[in-house]
């Protein structure tokens, strides 16, 4: 599992990264809130550990930015103040949990694992629906408006990624890594070609369009009523 640590204090960041890696996690680090928010948007993480006091963009700003961009990655935020208002604000902005500094690494690890377990349980879902579009992973079946849609294997994988992360901004790099297991090259149009084919089957015959191009970013699937 992949964790992003957004923390500007070098010793704390190194302490967290070392401990998490020793427990089998892949860890990326950002020391600036704006950079961390950008990383969380363009890369899929299983968890973000987020400090509140950050240069560039503070933790509250990062939470708000990720929420506005449709990023659903769970957040464990760190606060130097044991203040009820801070806790409530963090939860209201979308954080899963909070931890007050200073903290024991064993407690942070336990809370991180609890959040990740909840995420794994959610990922066991096999039927996904957005508007009148339904995808069944187990039956390998796609329906829209009550009609079956025949997809190739890659088209099905592409749609499964989009619908499982409905509302998320997915870059071409992420799509290529998840669907084709390749590193995306800027001069390759494999993602765009398959997206056009998918739209021909899933969107074009219907009045309401669900697959949207995000200029300069990639694609998202959502119902914009």
Q: What pLDDT does residue 51 have?
A: 94
Q: What pLDDT does residue 121 have?
A: 62
**Which stretches in the chain have pLDDT values below 70?**
121-124, 181-188
Could you tell me if 85 and 105 are in contact, meaning their C-beta atoms sit under 8 angstroms apart?
Answer: no
Q: How far apart are CA 174 and CA 184, in angstroms?
A: 8
Cis peptide before 20 (omega within 30 of 0): no
Q: What pLDDT does residue 177 have?
A: 79
Nearest residue to 179 via CA among 160, 165, 158: 158
Q: What pLDDT does residue 85 have?
A: 76
Q: What domains sit in the chain, N to C, each tagged with a CATH number?
A: 2-123 (3.40.50.2300), 127-221 (1.10.10.10)
Q: What pLDDT does residue 217 have?
A: 86
Mean model confidence pLDDT for the chain: 89
Q: What pLDDT does residue 91 have?
A: 77
Nearest residue to 53 via CA among 36, 66, 67: 36
């Amino acid at each position: 599992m992949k964790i992003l640590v957004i923390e500007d204090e070098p010793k704390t960041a190194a302490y967290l990264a070392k401990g998490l890696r020793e427990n089998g996690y892949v860890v990326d680090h950002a020391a600036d809130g704006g950079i961390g928010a950008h990383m969380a948007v363009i890369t899929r993480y299983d968890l973000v550990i987020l400090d509140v006091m950050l240069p560039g963009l503070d933790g509250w700003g990062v939470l708000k930015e990720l929420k506005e961009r449709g990023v659903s990655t769970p957040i464990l935020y760190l606060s130097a103040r044991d203040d009820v208002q801070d806790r409530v604000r963090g939860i209201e902005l979308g954080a899963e949990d909070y931890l007050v500094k200073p903290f024991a690494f064993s407690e942070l690890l336990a809370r991180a694992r609890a959040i990740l377990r909840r995420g794994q349980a959610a990922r066991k879902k096999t039927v996904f629906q957005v508007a009148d579009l339904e995808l069944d992973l187990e039956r390998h079946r796609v329906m829209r408006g009550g009609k079956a849609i025949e997809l190739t294997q890659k088209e099905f994988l592409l749609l499964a990624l989009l619908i499982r992360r409905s509302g998320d901004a997915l870059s071409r790099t992420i799509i290529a890594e998840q669907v084709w297991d390749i590193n995306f090259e800027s001069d390759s149009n494999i993602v765009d070609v398959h997206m056009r084919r998918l739209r021909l089957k899933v969107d074009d015959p219907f009045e309401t369009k669900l697959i949207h191009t995000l200029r300069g970013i990639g694609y998202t699937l959502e119902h914009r009523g």
